[in-house]
């Protein structure tokens, strides 16, 4: 069965038995500080705290953590490049680097660094919650917060279908590789197109069968699952709140 690094970390970390509310206080608090901080030192402190909490506190394996953050970090890097580059007739004046109408100036570079730092800190804060809390616990927490059942059901179905589609992709790709479907560039492009079409067809078919099955069972309310009661640790919440408040006060005082 297909596995995701972020899901594997969520089920095997040392904070697995802790309540989602405890981890939300720390992760969402760090996220709030990251998006409101105006100094690089505060953003860097949030980033370090979030990564250390995940690797040392929750003992998420470093290799698994790197796999989980690779995709969002790449997205942040690409976004930073687009922020750093400016295009215009006068962009080459006083630029750090220029090539025709494309240039990088002091202002755009500083803005790119600011956006990158804040995005990485916010991403690390969210990853702290994602790599320590399974989706089932998150959905249970959302239900306790009175989030509409329709939204929770859609999220649960997407999560469950994701692994089925990943298994389908793996099986089809393995069959294509056995038939030398990726031996040349032309055959690889044809195989990728066939793979996309087959996965789309499988997703549509499974969605229809799931809809028919739910309708046959008289589905009218929600897809509830058995929730495990986890007591909230007051010392953990107090320590997390104190850390977040300290960072927030540092940010406000510096401002």
DSSP string covering 109-168, please?
Answer: HHHHHHHHHHHHHHHHHHHHHHTTS-HHHHHHHHHHTT--HHHHHHHHHHHHHHHHHHHH
Report the Cα 188 to chain-centroid distance in Å: 29
Q: Tell me the average pLDDT across 14-34.
A: 90
Examine residue 226 and state whether it is found in any structural domain, yes or no. Answer: no
Same domain, 212 and 195: yes
Regarding whether 241 and 120 lie in a shared domain, the answer is yes
Residues 198 and 100 in one domain: no
Whether residue 199 sits in one domain with residue 73: no
Domain check: are 120 and 182 in the same one? no
Domain coverage including residue 25: 5-133+231-254
Bridge-based pairing of strands 97-99 and 86-87 is unpaired
- Per-residue pLDDT, 251: 82
Length of the chain equals 255
224 domain-assigned: no
pLDDT tens digit sequence for 48-64: 999 999 999 889 988 88
Residues 123, 36 share a domain: yes
pLDDT above 70 coverage of the chain, percent: 90
pLDDT per residue as tens digits for the range 149-199? 888 888 888 888 888 788 888 888 888 888 888 888 888 888 888 888 888
Per-residue confidence (pLDDT) for residue 52, from 0 to 100? 93
Claim to verify: residue 211 and residue 126 sit in the same structural domain: no
Shared-domain flag, residues 129 and 147? no
Average pLDDT over the chain, rounded to an integer: 83
- Give me the number of domains the chain comprises: 2
- Same-domain status, 129 and 21: yes
pLDDT category, 225, cuts 50, 70, 90?
Answer: low
pLDDT band at 1 (very low <50, low <70, confident <90, very high): very low
Q: Are residues 176 and 125 in the same domain?
A: no
Q: Is the pTM of this model over 0.85?
A: no
Q: Which of 1-5, 75-79, 197-201, 215-219 has the lowest mean pLDDT?
A: 1-5
Q: Would residue 66 count as lying in a domain? A: yes
């Amino acid at each position: 069965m297909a596995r995701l690094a972020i899901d594997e970390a969520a089920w095997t970390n040392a904070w697995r038995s802790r309540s989602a509310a405890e981890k939300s206080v720390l992760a969402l608090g760090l996220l709030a500080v990251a998006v409101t901080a105006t100094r690089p030192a505060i953003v860097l402190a949030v980033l370090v705290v979030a990564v250390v909490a995940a690797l040392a506190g929750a003992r998420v394996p470093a290799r698994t953590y790197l796999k989980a953050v690779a995709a969002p970090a790449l997205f942040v890097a690409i976004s930073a490049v687009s922020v750093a580059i400016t295009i215009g007739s006068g962009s080459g004046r006083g630029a750090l680097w220029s090539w025709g109408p494309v240039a990088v100036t002091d202002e755009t570079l500083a803005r790119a660094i600011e956006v990158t730092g804040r995005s990485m800190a916010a991403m690390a804060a969210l990853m702290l919650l994602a790599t320590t809390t399974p989706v089932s616990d998150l959905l249970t927490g959302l239900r306790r917060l009175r989030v509409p059942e329709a939204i929770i059901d859609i999220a649960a179905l997407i999560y469950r279908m994701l692994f089925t589609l990943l298994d389908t992709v793996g099986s089809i790709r393995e069959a294509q590789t056995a038939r030398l479907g990726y031996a040349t560039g032309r055959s690889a492009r044809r195989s990728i197109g066939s793979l996309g079409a087959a996965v789309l067809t499988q997703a549509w078919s499974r969605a229809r069968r799931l809809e028919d099955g739910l309708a046959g069972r008289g589905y009218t309310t929600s897809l509830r699952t058995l929730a495990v009661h986890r007591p909230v640790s007051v010392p953990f919440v107090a320590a997390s709140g104190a850390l977040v408040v300290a960072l927030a006060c540092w940010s406000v005082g510096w401002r």
